[in-house]
Amino acid sequence: MYQVDKERQAPIIPPVPAPKGLKFFSGTWSGRIIILNTIIFILHSLYDGNFLNPSSESLVAWGAKDNFLLVEGQLWRFLTPIVLHVGLIHYAFNNWALYALGYQIEHLIGKRWFVALYLLSGIGGNIASSLFSLGLSAGASSSLFGLLGAGFYLERVVGARLNKDYGKAARPSMYSGMVIANLVLGFMIPQIDNAAHIGGLLSGVTLAYVLLRMKPNRLLALNPKRSKIVLGFFLVSLVLGGGLASSKIFLKERLNLAYLTAEEPRAQFRYLTQILRLSPDDDDAKLARLELSLRYGNYSIAKVDFFQLMQSSRNDVPLNQVESKLIQDGHMEAAEVLRQLRSATKSK
């Protein structure tokens, strides 16, 4: 928003009244996406049996972003999370935001660009989530941040043009405030997938930049060559990012780093289990989980890892080292359990 005097000024991009009632849901893509989200939410909730807090298993079954399944080749999970929501509150908030924001952007850029922006921002956000977050993820927020990014960029361009033509000084604007507020909120709430939000935001800004240099407008001179280069770079980045995010080697390195930096034994155990899910023959992970399981009395898991390790004679020395570390740290009972397991194996 821009101001030249002390009187209150209208928004730099004035809001456009959305069609009322059925005209909104049948005549706009914003409304059609809300209908699709609603249908998916109802069907998924009936499937899960819980409208407020669906299980992780049902979210995965219905298309949530899951890094392990992406590695297995289920690349459609870069797209499907944008129509899937984690409970009633999540669904209601995202679809209210789409109702409030969607038609404004759809009116500004046109229906085709709006659909492309919504889908590509959602995919971009989910790829970013896969690259930087190890947890399950679902929701339309990556696409919504793409709309915010487009609105933010359009506001900057309009403001720059007004400043150039009329000398109006800039003041805080609606889209800037929404972007900052939502990013701050994301960093305050641990469950929010900030990587998806930032990925969607950057996708929206990039596509708005391309749009204003490809589609005739009164703000900027057209530059089809530059717009095609930027668009090509963006699409190549999606392909490369998606390829890296679905790489087994990359995911394993991230899990190893997460294990090494985790301080809580429960988190360490979870990451080791995920590494073994990805690479069942990783003896180093088995040894680490064996030691952790023995230290904290999870002897059933320890026995599983132990007998798998004993299939290879080269693990004798590492097992000696595990036993010595347990004794050194005062875990005498755990060391005795390991000693008994080894003795029983040798007697056979």
Burial class of 183 by CB neighbour count within 10 A (0 to 12, 13 to 18, 19+): middle
Q: Which of 44, 85, 90, 197 is catalytic?
A: 197
> CA-CA distance, 318 to 38, in Å (whole number)?
54
> CA-CA distance, 344 to 348, in Å (whole number)?
7
Burial class of 206 by CB neighbour count within 10 A (0 to 12, 13 to 18, 19+): buried
Residue 14, number of CB atoms within 10 A of its CB: 7
All residues at 6 or more sequence positions from 175 whose CB lies less than 8 Å from its CB, including other chains: 13, 148, 151, 152, 154, 155
> CA-CA distance, 340 to 334, in Å (whole number)?
10
Strand partners, 2: 170
324: its two tokens: 């010595």
* 90 catalytic per annotation: no
> CA-CA distance, 88 to 42, in Å (whole number)?
10
* 247 catalytic per annotation: no
Strand duo 169-170 + 2-3: pairing: antiparallel
Q: Residue 169: what are its φ and ψ, rounded to 5°?
A: -85, 145
Are 203 and 125 in contact, with CB atoms under 8 Å apart?
Answer: yes
Burial class of 17 by CB neighbour count within 10 A (0 to 12, 13 to 18, 19+): exposed
C-alpha dihedral over 320, 324, 326, 329, to 10 degrees?
Answer: -160
Q: Which of 141, 143, 176, 246 is catalytic?
A: 141
What length is written for the chain?
A: 348
Active-site residue numbers?
141, 197
